[in-house]
Structure 1
């Protein structure tokens, strides 16, 4: 992968061709990351599976009965008719939301005592001791601390235990008061666990958590079957939750259905009480009148009038009854929701009013149901309230119309009664009075029998009320856990262990702004690379920095190849060669020392001059004194022959160190004595190698390059900033350095190399910010990985 910083460089007009082998090699440089991260990922997956409790799925299904499809046969018709008197049509969608309501789940938690849970540590994970806990806590008062911190009970023996880290021992079946509240601890079932963690959870919060594990779905939109699924780490607890939830739902549904029947019974009982009293008074009047007047029979004419008046009074009584019912309906509608007794819809003849009252009762029940399970601002509840208001207005208008019609009928019947009464004037007074009393008795008897019949019908319907749902399948749990999926976890860990190193390597490559490939050097600088020097293992300064040229190591061979390539510099007669770089620490001294040693071993007289007058290091690396050197020659304090020293590496390898550090290196190099010195040295040595300061930091190298036959610019792998290559390209284009070539130092592509090179700590440091542009991201990441 090409470093992103290269996009801002002059890379030429053509795009670089994709090289698969090159990309693979760049990843292989960091091969150690793959086994490390794969091991870490698999280890994390192992511990995750150890600490994560398995989750099982439990399912059950119920049928919401469709009331439009009654049972066939007479018995089914009777049951359907009785049930339909006090129940409205149910919507499956509404029942789905009711089952998932917070209220029902809180009731389930309270009845199963799930707000107090017991756990024990089994290996690396904690398991639930639902119905298997050796201790049982019956809380009376729970403090806020109990909801934040669990209570740990340590069993001492079969009759004693301790709380948390306390030393005091307590006995079972005692009442305790502590920071967690007031409760009684009793013995549970025998268990192998002795350290029990008791967790207290608020019912409301636990209901919200459990509702997230509950799903209620309608598998087929054409059916009324609902499928309930609950996920839990304990199979028996999940079954109990579903069973209890269905029980609570059924009881809630039955309670709603029986509320209207109960109100109707109350209404009929009140009416029966009044009619019974009135009927008793009338019967006493008949008995008293017959006794006082001595009447035993009525004449045929009186009997005829009696029958006519009786029939007319019956109609009048029905009208009065209907008016009374309409008044009760109007009173119920006006005071609905404030404890008013619901009227009996079957005592009304008008089908429109019956339909409106049925609809009103259904809406009222739905409103009460949703008010218990939803918030006041729920859109569904607001819709029902709007429908209730509209239905109430329609009922009142219908009642007013019926009452006006009944008033006209009543007036007509009263007129007929007036005519019949006029006919009775011809009947003896006693007989006429008796007929009046008898008529009242007949009316009260018929009304009493009517209400008595309706009371029995209502009681029968109330007793025969059944739920609108039926259990299809009992809760069944899965045999294998659904979470976590072990195969998926292992696969994810394996993939993650391979993907993370790839991403990390890409991050390193993207954030690395140093030179990584020789192609980058060639493309930016348009200069030839005279040689490559592999990376060496880190060593101490001194002899360890000098390669044994008699060895057959790869680096030694590379220096021999570099020595051979010197004949291609210029016209092949370049004898004075300067070494420079962009910044310190790129290996100028290392390359110049070892190249000089290689030339000496090829029977060439070589002199290495340390012209880095600002921060010399040659004397430290060659372990020679630096009391006097070339700086003394340049200021006229002696002859160079007095300061040239043998390195001890080879008899033909001499060194002229920098000497004391002068206050004005640039002026010293430009005083005209350097070219004279080099001209004399050319007569005595085959090669003169000059270790100069970094060109990117000071101007000394530019002054020295004027007197050199060739310049070798050191670029260090994974150290030299890519932007510094622009400076080399500029030097190449302007021909400021004669016979400029590049040496790629410290190369480590990860494949075929791997010799290590330890000059990272011997940088120059001319300025505090000389390495400020170098990216430290890679080194920091490597340190982090090494710590892991």
Structure 2
């Protein structure tokens, strides 16, 4: 691979970091075993929860509230509402709060004696035996211990029982002083006779009220309805029904009690007021009687009314006369100013027909005069005739007005005289009438109040006698045998989701905490270098030896094929003529010696003369892997300047594969590598070998690899799966950018091909099942056996 291609590859990988769904899913599949483990664990937890949790059942009831704002009263309800002041007029919202009040629930607990409950154990589950207990505990004093620790009762015989906690035999029905308080235990014939051991739970009323109110739900069936839906959840269906029944009874009883109390208080108040008003009314009536006898009055009001009516009639006539006089004055003014454009008076207010006729004649003559004046001269005979007629008519009107005015003046004087006489008679009555009216007013007030109290007393008495509740039961409480809690489907789904979510969270946490490289794509993306080879993880045998390090020539394993693929890819490094290859890494333990030995062996198997040079002068491992003695090698050549042929040894793997070990560890490795002998050695070895592989020290720790890189054709940088840190990939990217190493490529080593990595065995990850291990395993199914026989048959046909 040349420099231009390498730079393009680096640039492409540094700029393009696309999301890889396959890689994202594979990192979860790699830990597939966590999913069935946690799903099974969550399923076990759900099963355990079902075993220890008592099922909860729901009881329901419906109640109709007669709301004054919602719903319409009709028929009998209207009659009752008129007779009673204490029915109806309820708000649904207020009734919801009343039904959920602590007072009502405390009364329910007290009536049903729910402070004491009974249960038995059945395996892991505790079963509530409401109304099934063969024992009944009646407490007088309860201690604090009773609220913390339940009491157990065992049946001894029909007359005696035992409390295992204190191991004392007691007789039924007798009062005992125990650690749980002062109590009696009775046999209950209605209970289950098969039960002989019961656990008794004592509960504080305050806490029990809170728990029961949490289990009670009261809500409207819909916004436009006054029907309330009551739901109560309990571990005993029968107890839920009993609680709702008792709650409704207490609610109705409380409502009726409130009404009766209000009605009785009202009746007492009315009776008290009636006695007082009766006494006051008698005193006022006696005052009226005394006043009339002293003043000699029969009916002052009637007499005054007569005077007032006569004066009213006389005043009406006087007003009519005054009106006629004012009308005549208007007519007189009109006659006097008729030549000045005066407006004619309204004749409908004049009662005299003669005067009306003269006024109409006078108006017509004036109109005719104005008409002639526009066309004739003033001395015209026609004009003189019209003027003469106008003057005569005016004189007639004046005479008529004088006669009528004299008659009206006389009528007015008579009416005013009559009015004066009526006023004189009326002035003598006001004082007597005022005094009498004051006394009569007190009598009227007392009478009205007395009648009102009598009416209210009868209404209140009727309401008190016919008190009914303002609610009606629509559906009686009923329970269901199907539990509403725990919801098995929901909990099962939750367990499944938890079993899936927990491993996902753990894997993500591991991925976040793991700072090593995990995939080939990650190596290429972070380093910017091409991966020229990918080597799987070797399976170690029980007794380590040479076979555990070197791949056999006849091996068909995936790792062997990967080394063959790496051998093939060497021709694509640089211009394809690279013969001297250096293998280095970031840190120790990344497999340089393993890869270099097997790559050399693979090249030797392809009829290439190969020399492996152990250039790690600080911590050599090649001789250990090949089971050789590191007595002489590269160090000797660099120090003594001797012949290289005497330092080369056969590898014992292949006749074309030879090794120059590192030799004794020198005190100054870097100085030796930089003394100028190394390039001479390489040039000498090129003439004898097709490939020279140099196993150098890690570049990230020492500078030896930098010194050697000047004399090699290409560099293979080892990166180990789940071992090399991601930060080391930055060093590789820097080396490529600075061109420190020639034709640098990455070999991804020790890849663990577990579930979720890549696509399976084989280089590039595409050959899962194509390669096999050295030791063939027996087919696991009939289909595998048939497939293998088919392959064998095809092979025989080809050979023939």
Residue 89 of structure 1 aligns with which residue? 89
Aligned mates of 2:245, 2:434 — CA distance in 1: 58
When the two structures are superposed, what TM-score results if normalisation uses the length of structure 1? 0.66
Write out aligned runs for 1:503-582 (5 A).
505=507, 512-538=514-540, 542-543=545-546, 544-582=548-586
Superposed CA deviations along residues 207-248 of structure 1, whole A, max 9, x for unmatched, are 222222211112243332212111222211111111111111
Cα shift at 1:629: 4.9
Alignment match of 2:231 (pick from 216, 229, 245): 229
CA distance in 2, matches of 1:549, 1:156: 85
Per-residue CA deviations over 1:701-746 (Å, capped at 9, x if unaligned) read 1122223332111122333333322322222233221232221223
1:72 corresponding residue in structure 2: 75
Distance in 2 between residues matched to 1:41 and 1:545, nearest whole Å: 44
Rounded Cα–Cα distance in structure 1 between residues aligned with 2:196 and 2:634: 85
- Secondary structure in 2 matching 1:186: strand
Deviation at 1:201, TM superposition (A): 2.5
State whether residues 534 and 753 of structure 1, in contact with CA within 8 Å, keep that contact through their aligned partners in structure 2. Answer: no
> Residue 61 of structure 1: CA displacement?
1.1
CA shift in 2, pair 1:81/1:631, >3 Å: same
1:264-275 → structure 2 map (5 Å cutoff): 264-267=266-269
Mean Cα displacement is larger for which, 577-586 or 17-26?
17-26
Bigger drift between 550-559 and 690-699 goes to: 690-699
The equivalent of 2:264 in structure 1 is 262
Say which of 206, 209, 212 aligns to 2:208. Answer: 206
What does residue 114 of structure 2 align with? Answer: 114
Mapped partners of 2:468, 2:192: distance in 1: 42
Deviations 1:417-467 (A, max 9, x none): 9xxxxxxxxxxxxxxxxxxxxxxxxxxxxx999999987765553232222
SS in 2 for 1:750: coil
1:623-645 deviation digits (Å, cap 9, x = unpaired): 33445554455444987666655
Could you tell me which of 668, 679, 699 is aligned with 1:675? 679
In structure 2, the residue matched to 1:703 is 707
Secondary structure of the 2:255 match is helix
- 1:730 aligns to 2:734 (yes or no): yes
- Secondary structure of 1:574's match? coil
In structure 2, C-alpha distance between the alignment counterparts of 1:54 and 1:524, rounded to whole Å? 57
Give the corresponding residue for 1:341.
none
Select the residue among 467, 472, 475 that pairs with 1:465. 467
Q: Which residue of 2 aligns with 1:429?
A: none
Q: Distance in 2 between matches of 1:448 and 1:734?
A: 118
Shift of the alpha carbon at 1:147? 2.8
Partner of 1:583 in structure 2? 587
Between stretches 605-614 and 722-731, larger displacement belongs to: 605-614
Aligned to 1:130: 130
Q: SS of the counterpart of 2:730?
A: helix
- SS at the partner of 1:698? coil
Does structure 2 conserve the Cα–Cα contact (< 8 Å) formed by 1:535 and 1:755? no
What does 1:180-579 align with in structure 2 at a 5 Å threshold?
180-188=180-188, 189-190=191-192, 192-267=194-269, 458-498=460-500, 501=503, 505=507, 512-538=514-540, 542-543=545-546, 544-579=548-583
**Cα distance change, pair 101–604 in 1 and its aligned pair in 2 (3 A):** same
Pairwise CA distance, 1:71: 6.1
Contact 1:616 1:658 in 2 (8 A): yes
What is the rounded CA distance, in whole Å, between the counterparts of 2:492 and 2:759 in structure 1? Answer: 34
Alpha-carbon spacing, 1:223–1:520, altered in 2? closer, same or farther (3 Å): closer
The CA deviation at 1:475 is 0.7
Unaligned runs of 5+ in 2: 1-9, 284-288, 300-432, 442-448, 764-800
Relative to 1, partners in 2 of residues 1:452 and 1:732: Cα closer, same or farther, differing over 3 Å? closer
Q: Secondary structure at the match of 1:613?
A: coil
Distance 1:592 1:512 in 2: 28
Q: Counterpart of 1:753?
A: 760
Q: How far does residue 647 in structure 1 lie from its aligned partner after superposition?
A: 4.2
Question: Matched residues in 2 for 1:455 and 1:448: separation?
Answer: 11
Per the TM alignment, residue 62 of structure 1 is displaced from its structure 2 partner at its CA by 1.3
Distance 1:67 1:686 in 2: 108
- CA gap 1:754/1:575 in 2 versus in 1, 3 angstroms: closer
Q: Alpha carbons of 1:177 and 1:631: their partners in 2 closer, same or farther (altered >3 Å)?
A: farther
Alignment partners' CA distance in 1, 2:482 and 2:206:
31
Moved more, 624-633 or 479-488: 624-633
Structure-2 residue corresponding to 1:393: none
Contact 1:11 1:524 in 2 (8 A): no
Match of 2:313 in 1: none
- RMSD of equivalent CA atoms: 4.5
Tell me how far apart the structure 1 counterparts of residues 103 and 435 of structure 2 sit (CA, whole Å).
55
CA distance in 1 between counterparts of 2:48 and 2:107 reads 37
Indicate how the Cα distance of structure 1 residues 78 and 95 shifts in structure 2: closer, same or farther if over 3 A, else same: same
The offset of 1:94, in angstroms, is: 0.8
User: Which of the numbers 698, 704, 708 marks the counterpart of 1:694?
Assistant: 698
Select the structure of larger CA radius of gyration. Answer: 2
Q: Which residue of 1 aligns with 2:54?
A: 53
Aligned to 1:550, what secondary structure does the other structure show?
Answer: coil
Question: Are residues 167 and 750 of structure 1, via their aligned partners in 2, closer, same or farther at CA, if it must alter by over 3 Å?
Answer: farther
State the match for 1:615 in structure 2: 619
Q: Partner of 2:529: helix, strand, or coil?
A: coil
Can you list the C-alpha shifts for 1:538-573, whole angstroms capped at 9, x where unaligned?
557543233223211111111122223333334444
Quote the residue 2:64 is aligned against.
63
**Partners of 2:84 and 2:462 within 8 A in 1:** no
Partner Cα separation in structure 1 for residue 450 and residue 126 of structure 2: 70
* 1:161 positional shift: 4.8
Secondary structure at the counterpart of residue 145 of structure 2: helix
User: 1:33 Cα deviation (Å)?
Assistant: 3.8
Is the 8 Å Cα contact of residues 587 and 701 (structure 2) preserved in structure 1?
yes
Q: 1:29 aligned to 2:48?
A: no
Give how far 1:46 is off.
3.3
Deviation larger for 672-681 or 577-586: 672-681
Paired with 1:162 and 1:635, the residues of 2 have a C-alpha distance of: 99
Q: Deviations over 1:108-129 (max 9, x none)?
A: 2222222322222233322211
Paired residue secondary structure (1:48) = helix
Q: How many residues align?
A: 604
Confirm or deny: 8 A CA contact 2:67 2:88 kept in the other structure.
no
